[in-house]
């Protein structure tokens, strides 16, 4: 199974100014998150970001926030470790469309059910800390029947042990574990994609 561009949304979890200096290999993690945001902009993938307790941990790192803004992304503040607990799933999955026209005037037993919203069900997920906010958000998204693809080289914790334990648990729960370059080339699928050259430049910047 390959990652589907047209079904993808990018979710970047808690790359905040007061947290990132404590993250193991934090500069590399942040660089890969930035590449994901750039690729999402080039390929028109919707981008969302979360901020855990922004009054305490500060806003998203400015350089990454600028890339999220360039991609037309939305930032979701939260206090729960899982963004889903604070309503994130409703942002990622639009509500069902109500019946249109005269159907709403019919008795309830004759009305057609609401139609599923046009949405993207695959969440490409990266963030910090891998064993806390990223893990809890991912598990809740899986429970909500999203497909979750975790970008391992764009995730971090304060220790390798906690980060790797999170990856083990996520794989066991049904998440797909990928890397930034895997996301890039699965979104593209072909060197004939119109954005191939631009995305390749982003990939090479991280080599």
Q: What is the CATH number of the domain that holds 29?
A: 3.40.50.850
- State the CB neighbour count (10 A cutoff) for residue 75: 16
- What pLDDT, on the 0 to 100 scale, is given for residue 119? 81
What pLDDT was estimated at residue 106?
Answer: 55
In a domain, 39, yes or no: yes
In a domain, 106, yes or no: no
Residues of the chain short of pLDDT 70, as ranges, are 94-118, 207
Q: Report yes or no on 101 lying in a domain.
A: no
Domain membership of residue 103 (yes or no) is no
Please say whether the beta carbons of 157 and 128 come within 8 A: yes
> What's residue 113's pLDDT?
45
Query: Residue 58 is part of which domain span?
Result: 5-92+119-205
The pLDDT value given to residue 206: 72
Domain count across the chain:
1
Residue 96: per-residue pLDDT:
56
Q: In this predicted model, what pLDDT tens digit does every residue of 46-98 receive, in sequence order?
A: 999 999 999 999 999 999 999 999 999 999 999 999 999 999 999 998 665 55
């Amino acid at each position: 199974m390959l990652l589907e561009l047209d079904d993808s949304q990018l979710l970047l979890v808690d790359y905040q100014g007061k947290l990132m200096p404590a993250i193991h290999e934090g500069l590399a993690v942040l660089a890969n998150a930035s590449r994901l945001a750039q690729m999402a902009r080039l390929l028109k993938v919707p981008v969302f970001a979360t901020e855990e307790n922004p009054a305490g941990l500060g806003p998203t790192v400015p350089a990454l926030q600028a890339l999220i803004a360039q991609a037309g992304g939305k930032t979701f503040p939260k206090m729960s470790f899982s963004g889903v607990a604070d309503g994130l799933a409703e942002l990622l999955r639009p509500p069902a469309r109500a019946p249109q026209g005269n159907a709403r005037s019919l008795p309830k037993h004759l009305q057609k059910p609401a139609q599923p919203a046009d949405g993207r069900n695959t969440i490409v997920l990266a963030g910090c800390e891998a064993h806390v906010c990223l893990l809890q958000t991912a598990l809740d998204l899986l429970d909500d029947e999203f497909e979750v693809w975790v970008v391992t080289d764009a995730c971090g914790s304060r220790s390798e042990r906690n980060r790797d334990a999170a990856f083990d648990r996520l794989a066991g729960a049904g998440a797909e574990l990928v890397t930034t370059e895997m996301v890039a080339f699965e979104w593209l699928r072909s060197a004939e994609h119109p954005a191939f050259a631009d995305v390749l430049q982003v990939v090479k910047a991280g080599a």
